C-alpha cells in the first residue's frame, strides 16, 4: 500500500517525512509511535478534536478506537534519485504490524499514527501525526488484523530529474 502526496519541492517534503519519522520513533522516552485503528473521525476535523483517536498507556481511550498496536520499524527516507524510491521521489516505509488486537466490533475506516504510549492519556491533539484512509473493513471484537508494509510517497516536482 502506498500513499502518494501532491508534487512539491524536495525541501518541503523531505524535511516533513524526516520529521514524521523522528516523531514516531522517539517521543518522551517511547520507542515508537502507535498505529490506531478507528471507525470514525472527528465531526469537525478543523476543531482539533483528535482525542477521538486516542490510544493511551496500555488502554483504549477515545470514542472511535477499535484497537491499536505499537508501530514496528520505520525505514529512512529514501531520496528519489536512489533506485529503491521508485518513481515518486521520497518514500518513508513502515514495516508490517501483525496481530493488531481489535477490542470493539465495528467498521474500520482509517488508521491513525499517534506518537508516544500516553497519547490522550495526558497527551495533546498534536500527538496525531498522520491519518491513513482504509476501504471500509468490518472487524469483529476480540480478533486481530495484519497491516502489511506500506509507504508514504512523495512525487517529484515536474521539473525534477
Rounded Cα–Cα distance for residues 73 and 121 (Å)? 24
Nearest alpha-carbon partner for 55 in 38, 43, 42, 40: 38
- Judge whether 42 and 49 are in contact, CB under 8 Å: yes
Between 50 and 133, the more confident residue is 133
* Phi, psi torsion values for 36, nearest 5 degrees: -120, 120
Nearest alpha-carbon partner for 82 in 73, 74, 91: 91
Q: Which residues contact 92 (CB under 8 A, 6 or more apart)?
A: 17, 20, 21, 74, 75, 77, 151, 152
Whether the per-residue pLDDT at 100 is higher than 90: the answer is yes
Q: What percent of the chain has pLDDT over 90?
A: 18
Provide the grid cell at 7. Answer: 508534487
Nearest alpha-carbon partner for 132 in 29, 2, 44, 43: 2
Q: Which residues contact 55 (CB under 8 A, 6 or more apart)?
A: 34, 36, 61, 62, 65, 68, 114, 119, 120
Rounded Cα–Cα distance for residues 48 and 103 (Å)? 25
Domain ranges of the chain: 2-154
Between 8-17, 31-40, 99-108, the lowest mean confidence (pLDDT) is in 8-17
Whether the per-residue pLDDT at 48 is higher than 80: the answer is no
Q: What is the mean pLDDT of residues 43-56?
A: 66
Work out the pLDDT band at 19, boundaries 50, 70, 90: confident
Which of 27-31, 50-54, 90-94 is predicted most confidently? 90-94
Work out the pLDDT band at 93, boundaries 50, 70, 90: confident
Predicted pLDDT of residue 76:
75
Between 5 and 86, the more confident residue is 5
Whether the per-residue pLDDT at 29 is higher than 60: the answer is no
Work out the pLDDT band at 143, boundaries 50, 70, 90: very high
Whether the per-residue pLDDT at 20 is higher than 70: the answer is yes
Amino acid at each position: 500500500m502506498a500513499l502518494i502526496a501532491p508534487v512539491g519541492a524536495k525541501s518541503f517534503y523531505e524535511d516533513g517525512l524526516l520529521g514524521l519519522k523522528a516523531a514516531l520513533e522517539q517521543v518522551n522516552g517511547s520507542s515508537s509511535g502507535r498505529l490506531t485503528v478507528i471507525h470514525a473521525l472527528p465531526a469537525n476535523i478543523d476543531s482539533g478534536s483528535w482525542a477521538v483517536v486516542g490510544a493511551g498507556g496500555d488502554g483504549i481511550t477515545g470514542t472511535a478506537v477499535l484497537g491499536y498496536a505499537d508501530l514496528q520499524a520505520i525505514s529512512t527516507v529514501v531520496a528519489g534519485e536512489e533506485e529503491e524510491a521508485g518513481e515518486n521521489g521520497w518514500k518513508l516505509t513502515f514495516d508490517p504490524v501483525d496481530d493488531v488486537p481489535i477490542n470493539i466490533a465495528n467498521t474500520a475506516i482509517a488508521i491513525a499514527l499517534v506518537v508516544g504510549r500516553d497519547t490522550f492519556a495526558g497527551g495533546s491533539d498534536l500527538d496525531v501525526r498522520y491519518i491513513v484512509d482504509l476501504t471500509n473493513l468490518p472487524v469483529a471484537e476480540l480478533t486481530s488484523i495484519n497491516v502489511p508494509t506500506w509507504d508514504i510517497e512523495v512525487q517529484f516536482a515536474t521539473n525534477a530529474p
